[in-house]
Amino acid sequence: MKPSLIKSAKPQAHRSSCPLACALDIIGDRWTLLLIRDLASGSTRFKDFVASPERIPTNILSDRLERLIQEQMIVQVPISEGSKRLAYQLTSKGKALLPVMGAIQEWGVKWVSGTIHGAG
């Protein structure tokens, strides 16, 4: 079954034309990249994200998932053919962040004491 968006993406007004500022408007909060990390690691369900070691509050989790859907970075798909239960999946736009996240992780390993490569 082909993934579909729950809501049509609504263009957001940008506060500037700076690509870094615009990107941070989408991914620059405390939780968004961790959700994308979890999706890339195989988590697909709301309960999986809640079980993450960072303990995202459920109200914030719901908000971030909705934002990622609106930004076309994730989609909701049926868990299996004919199922009404839904899971989340990265789109190509969401997957395009993975190399950037890898670079941030490497920076963290090098410059943030106490971090471990492969943790999280």
Q: What is the CATH number of the domain that holds 96?
A: 1.10.10.10
Residue 44 in tokens: 């697909």
Does 80 fall in a domain? yes
Q: Can you give the residue range of the structural domain that contains 75? A: 19-109
Does 12 fall in a domain? no
Domain count, the chain: 1
What's the pLDDT at 18?
Answer: 95
Does 9 fall in a domain? no
Statement: the pTM of the whole predicted model exceeds 0.85: no
What's the pLDDT at 5?
Answer: 44
Tell me the C-alpha distance between 112 and 114, whole Å: 6
Name which of 11, 6, 63, 70 is nearest 32 in CA terms.
63
Alpha helices per DSSP H over the chain? 19-27, 32-40, 46-50, 58-70, 92-95, 98-111
Kindly give the parts of the chain with pLDDT less than 50.
1-9
**Does residue 37 contact residue 104 with C-beta atoms inside 8 Å?**
no
Does 58 fall in a domain? yes
